[in-house]
Amino acid sequence: MIRGTTLGGVQDRHGFRAMNGTRWRRRYRLTRTLAMLMVPLGLAACVQVQPYLAKELPSATKPLRVLLMPPDVAAVELATAGVPLPRADWTALAQAGLVDAVADTLRKHGAEMIRYRRATGIVPYAEKHLEAIALHETVLQTILTYRYGAAQQRAALPTKQSGLDWTLGESVAPIRADYAADYALFLVYRQATSTVERALFAAISFVLFGFIHPTSQSVGFASLIDLNTGAVIWTNLLQGQSLDVNRPDGIRNRCERLLSGLPL
């Protein structure tokens, strides 16, 4: 019903360049509409999570203090050729949704959320914490390769065939000392949404050739670090595609999925 008329009508009568502040919402609706076209054609929305837990945490005798590190969030719009165009508005929306979801989740677990104080507007981390941050990213790449990678990649490290056995060691001591927190929570979130043109191209190529081009994708990674030992306690990878990728409730839903299974 909306398919041809709405898309054609909006583009023909007003054009995207004539749109004002509500332009992105319209564009989102159009993108969603185009994406919805694909559902009956076999491309169902799907978001999956894959958590790993190193060990169950002992029961806490007092509320745990969890330090939320500056979430690393970016949202882009994919042009027809697949070129990513940064979208500050979607990034801000995702960032806010992520922080809200963390606050709610920790509250439910009876834990206290502490926000990391950004060093400057540009550089998020204090100099003395950079060693731990850089090591975390390296450990993260290792975990993504050998725990979340394809079977061949997982098999390439037989010394770590199962479980979650990595650490940041003593490098986390300066963070623990500065914030008196029990755990640090790192979050990375990326989402890519197709422009209307790309979504249209995807629909056409599916109809004509059977090729499926995902129109909206999200990927997120969360890790919980024990600040007393440096051990990586828990990780979760979220990836998939959904139609509500840039709506606050959609972002919140995915953030909650990303934090599902947080072992606090």
- Choice between 153 and 228, CB closer to another protein: 153
Q: Compute CA distances 90 → 62, 85, 166, whole Å.
A: 37, 11, 33
Structure tokens at 150: 């394809």
Structure tokens at 126: 């204090």
State in angstroms the smallest separation of the CB of 109 from another protein: 26
Cβ pair 42, 248 in contact under 8 A: no
- Choice between 11 and 145, CB closer to another protein: 145
State in angstroms the smallest separation of the CB of 229 from another protein: 11
Cβ pair 50, 148 in contact under 8 A: yes
Looking at the DSSP assignment, which residues form a beta bridge with residue 234?
53, 224
Helix (H) or strand (E) holding 59: none
Structure tokens at 260: 């599902």
State in angstroms the smallest separation of the CB of 153 from another protein: 5
- Choice between 61 and 152, CB closer to another protein: 152
Binding site for another protein (CB under 8 A): 72-74, 82, 84, 124, 130-135, 137-139, 141-142, 144-146, 148-150, 152-153, 155-160, 165-171, 188, 190, 192, 217, 219, 221, 230, 239
State in angstroms the smallest separation of the CB of 146 from another protein: 6
Backbone φ, ψ for residue 245 (5° rounding): -60, -30
Q: Which amino acid is at 15?
A: G
- Choice between 7 and 52, CB closer to another protein: 52
State in angstroms the smallest separation of the CB of 71 from another protein: 10
State in angstroms the smallest separation of the CB of 166 from another protein: 6
| C-alpha to C-alpha distance for 184 and 116, rounded to whole angstroms | 9
| C-alpha to C-alpha distance for 10 and 105, rounded to whole angstroms | 40
- Choice between 6 and 217, CB closer to another protein: 217
State in angstroms the smallest separation of the CB of 180 from another protein: 21
| C-alpha to C-alpha distance for 143 and 236, rounded to whole angstroms | 11
- Choice between 14 and 170, CB closer to another protein: 170
| Residue environment code for 20-55, b if the CB has 16+ CB neighbours within 10 A, otherwise e | eeeebebbbbbbbbbbebbeeeebebebebebbbbe
- Choice between 100 and 165, CB closer to another protein: 165
Q: What is the crossing angle of helices 23-38 and 3-13, to 10°?
A: 150
